[in-house]
């Protein structure tokens, strides 16, 4: 069976299916010696335990209070090279930030940036974000980022995009009422699908703009898009429901 014809993952129960199809690369170019050091020395202490099915077959919810000391929790889905994630962690020391990225080269790049910046309020899941969704407590995340996701440009692959209900429904479950969901992309058809699908999952559109957010850090993927003449789009959504007050200020 070809990859194009492989069956989609079953929706499963609330605790997630026992297996999932995964599309995309797990690794790329050979890692530099320094990157191998980051992975061997730093990833263990920055990777929360209890996310994978092997570590947590019962799918017990993570104790975010123990991980972040009660601070508001943000989530970056597919952090690429990690520059935006480190920027946000450094800019907002009063929050805890979890980043998910299955591409090992991106994880190694992030770990190098964490060392250089000295930030300590972030954690890394080097795998499928759906495994994290399984074990995040309901309404526990106050902001989520999806920056330049894989566009899956072929029409038959659009069901693999993040902005489909199989991903958006569990995202909506873990986002608190009033939480913000940001999407940045340079692909017009991705914008179209985002505007169609995200509101169906329980989000209101706050803004759609060609101008970046005030606290935005342009990523290497965005710089490539600009060099190649593609126009970035920045979309902001808010999880429906009444927003609860923050326990701690966000600096």
Residues with a catalytic annotation lie at 150
What CA–CA distances, in Å, run from 228 to 71, 221, 248? 40, 11, 42
Q: Which residues contact 87 (CB under 8 A, 6 or more apart)?
A: 217
Secondary structure of residue 240 in the 3-state scheme: coil
CA distances to 4, 7, 26, 50 from 1, rounded to whole Å, are 8, 9, 20, 33
Which segments of the chain are extended strands (E)? 73-77, 96-100, 122-125, 141-147, 175-185, 203-209, 233-239
Nearest to 71 by CA among 49, 51, 50, 92: 92
Sign of the torsion angle spanned by Cα atoms 178, 107, 229, 157: negative
Query: Please, are residues 162 and 187 in contact by the beta-carbon 8 Å criterion?
Result: no
């Amino acid at each position: 069976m070809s990859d194009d014809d492989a069956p989609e993952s079953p929706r499963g129960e609330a605790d997630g299916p026992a297996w999932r199809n995964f599309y995309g690369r797990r690794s790329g170019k050979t890692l530099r010696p320094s990157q191998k050091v980051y992975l061997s020395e730093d990833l263990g202490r920055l990777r929360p335990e209890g996310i994978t099915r092997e570590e947590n077959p019962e799918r017990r919810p993570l104790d975010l209070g123990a991980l972040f000391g009660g601070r508001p929790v943000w989530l970056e889905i597919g952090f690429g090279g990690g520059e935006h994630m480190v920027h946000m962690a450094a800019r907002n020391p009063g929050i805890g930030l979890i980043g998910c990225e299955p591409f090992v080269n991106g994880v190694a790049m992030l770990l190098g940036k964490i060392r250089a910046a000295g930030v300590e309020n972030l954690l890394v899941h080097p795998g499928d974000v759906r495994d994290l969704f399984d074990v995040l407590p309901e309404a526990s995340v106050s902001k989520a980022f999806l920056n330049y996701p894989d566009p899956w440009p072929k029409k038959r692959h659009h069901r693999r995009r993040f902005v489909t209900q199989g991903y958006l429904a569990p995202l909506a479950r873990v986002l608190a009422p009033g939480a913000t969901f940001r999407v940045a992309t340079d692909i017009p058809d991705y914008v179209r699908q985002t505007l169609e699908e995200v509101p169906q999952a329980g989000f209101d559109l706050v803004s759609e703009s060609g101008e970046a957010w005030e606290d935005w850090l342009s990523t290497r993927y965005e710089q490539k898009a600009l060099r190649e003449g593609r126009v970035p789009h920045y979309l902001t959504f808010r999880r429906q429901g009444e927003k609860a007050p923050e326990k701690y200020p966000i600096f």
